[in-house]
Amino acid sequence: MPVNLAPLEADKLLPVQGVTLGIAEAGIKKAGRKDLLVMRLGDHARVAGVFTLNRFCAAPVTLCRQHLAGGKAIRALVVNTGNANAGTGEEGMKRARQTCTEVARLLQCGDDQVLPFSTGVILEPLPVDKIIAGLPAAVANLKEANWFDAAHAIMTTDIQPKALSKQMMLGGKTVTITGIAKGSGMIHPNMATMLGYVATDAAISQPLLDGLVKHAADQSFNCITVDGDTSTNDSFILIASGEAGAAEITDAASAEYATLRDAITEVSQVLAQAIVRDGEGATKFMTIAVEGGASTAECRQVAYAIAHSPLVKTAFFASDPNLGRILAAIGYAGITDLDVDKIRLYLGDVLVAENGGRAASYQEQDGQRIMKAPEITVRVNLGRGDAAATVWTCDFSYDYVKINAEYRS
Amino acid sequence: MPVNLAPLEADKLLPVQGVTLGIAEAGIKKAGRKDLLVMRLGDHARVAGVFTLNRFCAAPVTLCRQHLAGGKAIRALVVNTGNANAGTGEEGMKRARQTCTEVARLLQCGDDQVLPFSTGVILEPLPVDKIIAGLPAAVANLKEANWFDAAHAIMTTDIQPKALSKQMMLGGKTVTITGIAKGSGMIHPNMATMLGYVATDAAISQPLLDGLVKHAADQSFNCITVDGDTSTNDSFILIASGEAGAAEITDAASAEYATLRDAITEVSQVLAQAIVRDGEGATKFMTIAVEGGASTAECRQVAYAIAHSPLVKTAFFASDPNLGRILAAIGYAGITDLDVDKIRLYLGDVLVAENGGRAASYQEQDGQRIMKAPEITVRVNLGRGDAAATVWTCDFSYDYVKINAEYRS
């Protein structure tokens, strides 16, 4: 069961002016399941995205990159579940293009104004005929109030849908941000991928939006890990429709930019953390906060070494304050001039290790009390500087093995 | 159960002239268990070693490095199980030194002519009094025929002891190599560590021995992974007693050096593979062979990405030919200019992927047939050059989680 992830309430999701969503059942993998989503964007909308760094990236990811680089205004997004269109070679590119062409025809825009996304089985041909057959129903369904259904339509093995809205005042106008995301492992066996879409009706210049999507991703989706694997299809898209009536933000030093940036980052963080909370087999949500580093990069390196260690993750599953495993992970994280005598390690607020060994004040029962909670913070001070980084992850349970070993059987 | 690891037969282990071994029950963690080993080396013996790169290395590892760097002839090794003497700060160093002092007193050599090794619980004080009390019995037990008992004495959670002997002719003389090793995860929760000791009665100069220990480790213990974690105590020691009567090898270009190097490397490989076969919860033994790389380093990078992926390891546990997971791991291994269209992926002898996707000739039942076997070879040709690297690993089963989650409970 997801860790502290409240059921999604439809009436808490707010429409974003200038963004309509349409859902359909295209029967891509199974019948009777909403598996196709079209998002239509208004005339003033700007779009920016970040994508997987996996060299085996999927055809739709390649096409998204091309269309965004082309500089034409993006007018629609199309997302299918049930098939990732990854590892499908030139034929996969052709089918992703066919999908865009059909969306463009229905919405009367250019092919290169459409961004395609796929998630599902890898290495299987995309059933593009089913998608094309399902598109008219999705387009007929387009409306601003469809975020709740959209959050469901992009799910694969997610146990719960993930979505969030936030409102604030910006230049005297009410501005809305609504986001949805899916994913429960960094990569699923065949139901691949993390997808995130955050839309706002604020107006912002393209260069600032391009920077903002990277900032938000670096503080959210790039700080989570379930199993260390990186999908072929991971995508995070930020949409600014500009229809709230607020003045366009063009200055990165302005208060308005800071407000919007922080709100979008917060929505992205909650969505990213929801993916970890719904991680495959997760029973605990862990925050790994590394501080006192010489650089952010080395803090991330240490945080990921802890977050990726199967030994640490199984100890958390067992609620076992196994300090040796955490110290060992810090030790092999790759900081060659690390002085282990300067490191302080905390579980929650309890100092557990310092001076290269267990803290004199540490009592095993204090560690055990903290490890029994469903949310646990591991804090490491490297004693080398002022940099810090945080990573969120979940534990490693029997169910992780079960889910991933039995997926195709 | 270990994968294809035959029970150790005492009469297949051959004594190495100039190396005697003594075992005792010191009651370090539990009573009634052989947990202390002393190895005494003859007057002509030379020793070389490689150790963990973990910054949280244990006190005995630090002392081993100091004593080897000191340049005095090493005359004894002392190994205890039940306690790793890691994360124990200055007091840990003091206790490791006390152990060396007592061995030196009993064997009448210098403190700095003794190498100490510990494996077991991390962060607990070493019960040095018990070790000192046990040493006279171990010394009284010293004999050349004790390799079988020694292989048992260094075990912690290993299911089976690991040892091997090999003989060959060198310069007209029969030369013997015998090695023992322990370990079943790269690091155990508290019963840490991979330890390997290989001894020969060949004679070889110190510079060549120093090179040989690195060569053998790089081709064996540095090519295995169970869970990607690196212990605080990992050590591999090579001993050449020089007592077989063969002339000293001093030329790295000589046929004698090549013969000895290859034989020691082979013994080290069998021992290293035995650790994987006895890996925590292992049900399959996997060889990940990456070829056609631009460098050995990038081949290792790709091999380890595959070998460390929890998704790949659970698929192997399930005997599922899940090609997408392997391709995804290759894609995120970190080769930024990788051309995925040039990659060929084989399961056993079956070509499963090429041209960026599934091979046209591939039949799922061929993949399944290979995945059902207890030993599986994954072969990747990167299509970039002539370099190659091989890594051995095991699968990821329910029992891995069970062993590591329930260890301290």
CA of residue B202 relative to chain centroid, distance: 22
3-state secondary structure of A357: strand
Q: What is the pLDDT of residues B126-180, one digit of tens each?
A: 999 999 999 999 999 999 999 999 999 999 888 899 999 999 999 899 999 999 9
Beta carbons of B325 and A189 less than 8 Å apart: yes
**The tokens of A70 are what?**
């082309």
Which residues in A297-309 are b (16+ Cβ under 10 Å) and which e? ebbbbbbbbbbbb
Strands ordered across the beta sheet of A357-358:
A224-225, A387-394, A285-293, A375-381, A344-347, A350-354, A357-358
DSSP state of B348: T
Per-residue pLDDT, B229: 63
Residues in chain A with CB shorter than 8 Å from the CB of B335 are: 55
Residue B353 to residues A405, B344, B350, B380: CA-CA distances in angstroms?
Answer: 21, 6, 9, 10
Report the amino acid identity of residue A112. D
Instruction: Please give the Cα distance from B350 to B323 (Å, whole number).
Output: 12
Model pLDDT for residues B267-309, shown as the tens digit of each residue? 999 999 998 888 878 899 999 999 999 999 999 999 999 998 8
List, for residues B115-134, the tens digit of each pLDDT value.
Answer: 999 998 888 899 999 999 99
Residue type present at position A175: V
* Residues paired with residue A19 on neighbouring β-strands, in sequence order: A41
CATH code 3.10.20.340 region(s) in chain B: 285-405
pLDDT in tens, chain A (409 residues): 788 888 899 889 999 999 999 999 999 998 899 999 999 999 999 999 998 888 888 899 999 999 999 999 999 999 999 999 988 888 999 999 999 999 999 999 999 999 999 998 788 899 999 999 999 999 999 999 999 999 999 998 888 999 999 999 998 999 999 999 998 654 433 334 789 999 999 999 999 999 999 999 989 888 887 666 667 788 899 999 999 999 999 999 999 999 999 999 999 999 999 988 888 788 999 999 999 999 999 999 999 999 988 888 888 988 888 888 898 889 888 898 999 899 999 999 999 999 888 899 999 899 999 999 999 999 999 999 999 999 998 888 877 777 767 654 3
Minimal-distance CA residue of chain A relative to B335: A55
- The DSSP element (H or E) to which A380 belongs, if any, is strand A375-381
Q: How far is B239 from chain A (nearest CA, A)?
A: 27
- Of the residues A123, A298, A313, A319, the best mutation for testing chain B's interface (the one with the most B CB atoms within 10 Å of its CB) is A123
Mutate to test the interface with A, among B85, B188, B229 (most CBs of A within 10 A): B229
Binning chain B into helix, strand and coil, the percentages to the nearest 5 are 35, 25, 40
User: ipTM > 0.95?
Assistant: no
> Could you give the residue range(s) of every CATH 3.60.70.12 domain in chain B?
10-277
Q: What residues does B350 pair with on adjacent strands? A: B347
| Optimal mutation site among B52, B55, B91, B402, interface A, most CBs of chain A within 10 A | B55
Residue type, A181: A
Beta bridge partners of A40: A20, A76
In whole angstroms, how far apart are CA A177 and each of A181, A206, B395? Answer: 14, 17, 44
CB contact under 8 A, A87 and B57: no
Q: What pLDDT digit, counting tens, does each position of B5-58 carry? A: 888 988 899 999 999 999 999 999 988 999 999 999 999 999 999 988 888 888
pLDDT score for B184: 65
For helices B323-331 and B296-308, give the axis angle rounded to 10 degrees.
140
Tell me the CATH architecture of domain A10-277.
4-Layer Sandwich (3.60)
Neighbours of A359 (CB within 10 A): 16
Question: 3.40.50.150, 3.30.300.30, 3.10.20.340, 3.40.630.40: which CATH number matches B285-405?
Answer: 3.10.20.340
Of the two residues B226 and B140, the one the predictor is more confident about is B140
Write the residue in B56, B331, B402 that is nearest to A232 by C-beta.
B331
Q: In one letter, which amino acid is B218?
A: D
| Nearest chain A Cα distance for residue B129, angstroms | 21
| Distance of residue A141 Cα from the nearest chain B Cα, in angstroms | 34
- Contact criterion met (CB < 8 Å) for B405 and A311: no
